[in-house]
Homo-oligomer: A and B are copies of this chain.
Amino acid sequence: MYTVAEENYIKSIYHLQRHQKSVHTNDLAAELNTRAASATDMIKKLEAKGLLKYEKYYGCSLTKTGKKLALNIIRRHRLWEFFLSEKLGFGWEEVHAVAEQLEHVQSDLLTDKLDVYLGFPLFDPHGDPIPDTLGNMAAREQTPLSLWTSQAPAEVCGVGSQDESFLEMLSLKQLEIGCRLTVLRHFNFDKTVELQLATGSSFTISEMLAKNIFVKPVEV
């Protein structure tokens, strides 16, 4: 159906589109570790296939068809991440790289049977929602810890990066999905955040870290 390269472009465009309404060539190239010239070429190919619309020197944005494809690829990626983590015992810092390969196995039957087998999971190991067959997915309230000013306890519900060392650091600090914490203080000097776990232990984390940890109010 679609080549691996095409699928990777579509997925990247989809992700970039959440932030900017139109996706710029340079941003796309950066996201895919390639060059602007290559991105321009592929954009033209994808436009010819009706997956996106493109205006020279301005940028591109996915069509309905393009979005549907993107959500299907994301569905495959996150279902495999869940499988690797839940069934095979991979660490959450290991699953992304393998899922990058598995997501390109094209068989809707496989995807749907996997979904059934896993019990229709709603979130992947990083807290990202898994689209269903129609592309619908749970909305996630995602307040970065850097903006959480409430005294009330918060629950970690997602992370903003797939970087291995970032995720390893979180595991080390016992900051996993579902874990409860309270923000003790935001230091103005460098935006360091001091927090306390349910276990009682308290420590500080950098602003960079705080920006990539998403929390929500603890449900009662």
How many A residues face the partner with a CB closer than 8 A? 19
Smallest Cβ-Cβ distance to A90: which chain B residue: B113
Write out the residue numbers on chain B whose beta carbons fall within 8 Å of the beta carbon of A114: 88
Write out the residue numbers on chain B whose beta carbons fall within 8 Å of the beta carbon of A110: 84, 88, 98
* Bound-complex Cα distance A109 to B84 (A): 11
- Copies of this protein in the assembly total 2
**Cβ contact within 8 Å between B88 and A98:** no
Smallest Cβ-Cβ distance to A100: which chain B residue: B105
Smallest Cβ-Cβ distance to A114: which chain B residue: B88
Chain B CB within 8 A of A189 CB: no
**Cβ contact within 8 Å between B105 and A89:** no
Partner pick for A101 among B105, B109, B116, CB 8 A cutoff: B105
A88-100 Cβ-contact flags toward B at 8 Å (1 or 0): 1110001001100
Smallest Cβ-Cβ distance to A110: which chain B residue: B98
Smallest Cβ-Cβ distance to A106: which chain B residue: B101
* Bound-complex Cα distance A191 to B152 (A): 81
**Cβ contact within 8 Å between B98 and A105:** yes
Write out the residue numbers on chain B whose beta carbons fall within 8 Å of the beta carbon of A109: 90, 94, 98
**Cβ contact within 8 Å between B89 and A98:** no
